[in-house]
Amino acid sequence: MKVTSCAGCITILLLLLLSPIAAAEDTATVHGVAYDWSTLAPLDNVVIEVNSTPVQSMVAKYGMYSFELPQGSYCVTASYYVNGDLICYDEENITIADEGNYVVDLLLVPSYSDETNDTEETVSSTPSLSSSSLLIVFGIIILILLLSIIFKIRSPEEKDIVKKKPDDVFNIHVNKTDKAHSAPVTSKDKVPYNKMPSQQALVNLSSEHLEILDIIRSAGGTMPQKELRKHLSYSEGKASVMILELEKKGLIKKVKKGRGNLLFLTGMEV
């Protein structure tokens, strides 16, 4: 009985010792190096992962890695990170049919995941941009319609004034002014429009306005705007505002001439 018991113990011990060897014979070694695609140099600190059960992963020093895997199909992935951002990536599929050594080198190429996300965001934002454009166009159309309606419903008096010549307007003004004196206005008393004094237009003019008129008058009634600025002590912006106000009052007229503007005295004597 003792001999039988000893033989059984020895058999069990041999099975336990030989089982790792048998298991080792069923596994294969998968190894390789992770390279940079641009320099073909090994990449340091690359994260290598294989989808075995359980999943195996390691940080490959100098790009070198090695895994022990049983028979089956696997996907070996390599990821290279800088400050938490994925820079390069590669993956290779491998099928292990027998034990032995399998060399799987990985060539890491730039990752375009960020650009893909940016493209998706751009595409998703396109509808909102189109909606905004439609709203702007719709608003412009409404504004044009409103302006056309306003011009159409102008009073008849305004239309008559627009149709009348400048001489007719001044004749009416003179007749009304002289009506209190009951003195008729003859054709000899009429003054051409561009030579007639306009005292009413000179009311509420500042010293700067009068200075501009005097300078243009001293130049013969015509002067380039660029030349006028040389005679003024204030800024170009203020001078432009003054000229615009005088133009609205009908005292000067601005005509585009080449690259500059030519100023004419109108509605007053030179």
Residue 107 reports pLDDT greater than 70: yes
Domain boundaries, the chain: 27-114, 141-190, 191-265
Share of the chain above pLDDT 90, in %: 33
Q: What is the pTM of this model?
A: 0.37
Q: What is the DSSP string of 27-72?
A: EEEEEEEEEETTT-PBPTTEEEEE--SS-EEEEEGGGEEEEEEESE
Element (H, E) at 82: strand 72-82
Angle between helices 207-218 and 236-248 (to 10 degrees): 80
Predicted confidence at residue 122, as pLDDT, reads 56
CA distance 251 to 253: 7
Q: Choose between 266 and 95: higher pLDDT.
A: 95
Q: What is the CA radius of gyration of the chain?
A: 48
Give the three-state DSSP class for 106. Answer: strand
Residue 191 reports pLDDT greater than 50: no
Top-level class of domain 191-265 = mainly alpha
Of the pLDDT bands very low, low, confident and very high (cuts 50, 70, 90), residue 174 is very low
Of the pLDDT bands very low, low, confident and very high (cuts 50, 70, 90), residue 184 is very low
Predicted confidence at residue 28, as pLDDT, reads 93
Predicted confidence at residue 63, as pLDDT, reads 93
Mean pLDDT throughout 250-254?
87
Predicted confidence at residue 176, as pLDDT, reads 41
How does pLDDT run across 29-78, given as a tens digit for each residue? Answer: 999 999 999 999 999 999 999 999 999 999 999 999 999 999 999 999 99
Predicted confidence at residue 256, as pLDDT, reads 85
* Strand-strand pairing, 56-60 and 64-70: unpaired
Predicted confidence at residue 134, as pLDDT, reads 86
Give the three-state DSSP class for 204. Answer: coil
Decide: residue 42, CB within 10 A, 0-12 exposed, 13-18 middle, 19+ buried.
middle
Range in 73-82, 130-139, 180-189 with the lowest mean pLDDT:
180-189
Q: What is the average pLDDT value for the chain, to the nearest integer?
A: 76
Q: Choose between 177 and 72: higher pLDDT.
A: 72
Range in 74-78, 117-121, 254-258 with the lowest mean pLDDT:
117-121
Top-level class of domain 27-114 = mainly beta
Q: Choose between 250 and 7: higher pLDDT.
A: 250
